[in-house]
Amino acid sequence: MHGFMTLFKKEILRFWKVAFQTVMAPVLTALLYQLIFSHVLSQHVEAYPGVSYTAFLIPGLVMMSMAQNAFANSSSSLIQSKITGNIVFLLLPPLTALEFFGAYLLAAIVRGLVVGAGVLAVTAWFGLPLPSHPLWILAFAALGCGVLGTLGIVAGIWADKFDQLAAFQNFIIMPLTFLSGVFYSINSLPPLWKTVSHLNPVFYMIDGFRYGFFGQGDVSPWLSLAVVGGSFAALASWSLYLIGSGYKLRQ
């Protein structure tokens, strides 16, 4: 247990020591999206009845930032440790696979939540109403970060080089997050693209998270919870298996 706590603390300090880059930068990026999209689109789109586009955009941006940063935290920490070789300091001690996984996961969730809180703080005054279901908000925030944090662990273990990780980020994570209904309600899409969006687990994270704010979404929050929870369970088992078997970590 102390091994887990130590690694968790180390992972928190790792991103916190460079918070300007790991927290402030994504908050600024989200703020820029908010400024530009709400300026361009606020007159034209009303995503849900009674919800302005400006307000609609905020939870999407918060969730997207959380997801991307949770992924970035675990994946970049692992690949850096692997490439510089200092991962050996984690492989020599008697840390269990669960401790190893838990520490990277929880640190990724914390980074995601800190960034999410930051994005919320700078965008909320664009007209976000008071949340109607705070518990849904918390549940989807934690689970969403958990899914992407776990995916980050898998990617960090799998990738041998920075460019492989960058490819994973640019060709898998970015499309999944951008095409998940961050900027639009999928009900506005043509039927084919609507169906495709339903295959994207990130869509359910954002939809469920948004439900917590507005009390309405494209699908039921319970369905979203099931998809996001199921994705998390599957990825977590996979990740634990990889760590336990020593895949790419122990020869």
Partner 1 sequence: MTHAISIESVSKRFGSLQALDSVSFTVAQGEFFALLGPNGAGKTTLISAMAGLSRPDSGHIRIMGHDTVASARQARMTLGVVPQELVFDPFFSVREALVFQSGYFGIRRNDAWIDELLHKLGLTDKAGTNMRALSGGMKRRVMVAQALVHRPPVIVLDEPTAGVDVELRQSLWAFVQELNQAGHTIVLTTHYLEEAETLCSRIAMLKKGKLLALENKDKLLAHSATREISLKLAAALPASLQPLKVREADGRHILQLADIARLEDVLRELRLAAVEVRELSIHETDLEQVFVKMMHGGRV
Ramachandran angles phi, psi of 48, nearest 5°: -120, 155
- Site size toward partner 1, by CB under 8 A: 28
Ramachandran angles phi, psi of 206, nearest 5°: -70, -40
Q: Which of residues 85-124 bind partner 1 (CB under 8 A)?
A: 85-86, 88-96
Helices 134-158, 201-214: crossing angle, 10 deg rounding:
160
Cβ proximity to partner 1: between 13 and 166 the closer is: 13
State which of residues 134, 175, 230, 246 lies at the interface with partner 1 (CB under 8 A): 246
Q: Is 243 in the site for partner 1 (CB under 8 A)?
A: no
CB of 163 to partner 1, least distance (A): 21
CB of 244 to partner 1, least distance (A): 11
Q: Which long-range contacts (CB under 8 A, 24 or more apart) does 227-234 make?
A: 227/201, 228/140, 228/143, 228/144, 228/147, 228/201, 228/204, 229/143, 231/147, 231/201, 232/143, 232/146, 232/147, 232/150
Distance between CA 99 and CA 174 in Å, rounded? 29
Q: Is 43 in the site for partner 1 (CB under 8 A)?
A: no
Cβ proximity to partner 1: between 92 and 130 the closer is: 92
Cβ proximity to partner 1: between 18 and 226 the closer is: 18
Summarize as ranges the residues that interact with partner 1 (CB under 8 A): 1-3, 5-7, 9-10, 13-14, 17-18, 81, 84-86, 88-96, 246, 250-251
